[in-house]
Amino acid sequence: MHLFTSRVATLVYIHIRSVRVLMRRFARFLDAETTEKLIQSFFNEKRLIKRIKILQTYCCLGIKTLAGGELYERLREKREKTRERMKASLVLITKNNKSIASMEQQNATISCTNTELQGQQAMCSTGKTKYSLTPLNITYSPGVEQLDHEEKQICSVHRILPDVYLHCKGVMIAESRKCGGKLRLMDARKLCRIDVNKTRKIYNHLVSKELVQQH
């Protein structure tokens, strides 16, 4: 009963404030007591209307007693608080995941750049054109959850970001379907526009899985 009356009082309080402001312009025609009685009559009318509307809502929900209405109000308030907590937790988790993914992306880019610079320095000093690259950590990279184990290995070993791999895979398969299931490596390179060696690795994998036929 307390929650029910509290809800009614809250709704009416907002209305009565606006009524008091509105009645100021008529106060000069009435004495203070009459003005207050008039305001209270508006207050009582609004309270009864709100009470009736809430009771009608209870009836529509199948609630037939005030005790049932009290229980409904407690559960409704509890649900709203739970929903707000879940919403706040979801926002926090989303922000944390984005921050982690961004950090991993930056670290991967820096690591890749440093490794390539080291390889170029080694090539200049020894005259050799080959150097080894450390595997790329793609644990928190966007799109990694859509890869199977073999695709994760390809992305890590050949330093291909998962979202880049998925994009290339998608356009290759789509183009091959337009051409009867066949696709040339040359055309794949034009579609992907990334390092040619990385394109070849993706292309060869799709051919081995019979997702694309070599032209």
Supply 212's token pair. 């694309």
Supply 49's token pair. 């209307």
Angle formed by the axes of helices 196-208 and 162-178, nearest 10°: 60
pLDDT tier, 161 (very low <50, low <70, confident <90, very high otherwise):
very high
Residue 9: count of CB within 10 angstroms of its CB: 12
The predicted pLDDT at position 90 comes to 79
Residues in the chain: 215
Residue 12: count of CB within 10 angstroms of its CB: 21
Tokens 């919403």 belong to residue: 87
Supply 180's token pair. 């009867």
pLDDT tier, 160 (very low <50, low <70, confident <90, very high otherwise):
very high
The predicted pLDDT at position 119 comes to 52
> pTM for this structure?
0.42
